[in-house]
Amino acid sequence: MAADFDKEGFLLDLSAWNRDIAEQIARSEQIELNAAHWEIIELARRFYTQHEHSPEMRPLVKYVKQELGDDKGNSLYLLSLFPDSPAKRVSKIAGLPRPANCL
């Protein structure tokens, strides 16, 4: 599968994204995607469509909380699915640009 990535592993052509590419990126991040991951990936993509940028951690948490409730809208839950740097990893797997202000 030929898809182009930048040196941090973010997909260059956003329109080239599909579920296979997401699986491929996730594997390179040592993440095995399940339904819980997909739910967050879909939300990150919806955030991007609505707001035209990738979410940093705080807006991602708040957005997930708003859409899926308190059980999932918290950093611990997101960290359990996407360890270390959830906002960055979700965007990467979702085929979105690197969040601009990720600390």
Partner 1 sequence: MSPLVPDNSMNNTKSTLFILRSTPYQGHRALEGIEAVLAASVFEQPLGVLFIGDGVWQLKKQQQAEQIERRNLAALLSSFPLYDIESVYVDESSLEGKHLHSNDLLLPVSTLSAAGMAELVANHDTVLTF
Contacts with partner 1 in 30-49 (CB under 8 A)?
Answer: 47
Tokens found for residue 49 = 């469509």
Known catalytic residue at 102: yes
> How far is it, in rounded angstroms, from Cα 36 to Cα 86?
13
Told to check if 51 binds partner 1 by CB under 8 A, we report yes
- Contact between 77 and partner 1 (CB under 8 A)? no
Please tell me which residue in 3, 21, 68, 102 is annotated as part of the active site. Answer: 102
If one asks whether residue 62 binds partner 1 (CB under 8 A), the answer comes out as yes
* Residues lying near partner 1 in the complex (CB under 8 A): 47, 50-53, 55-56, 58-59, 62-63, 66, 100-101, 103
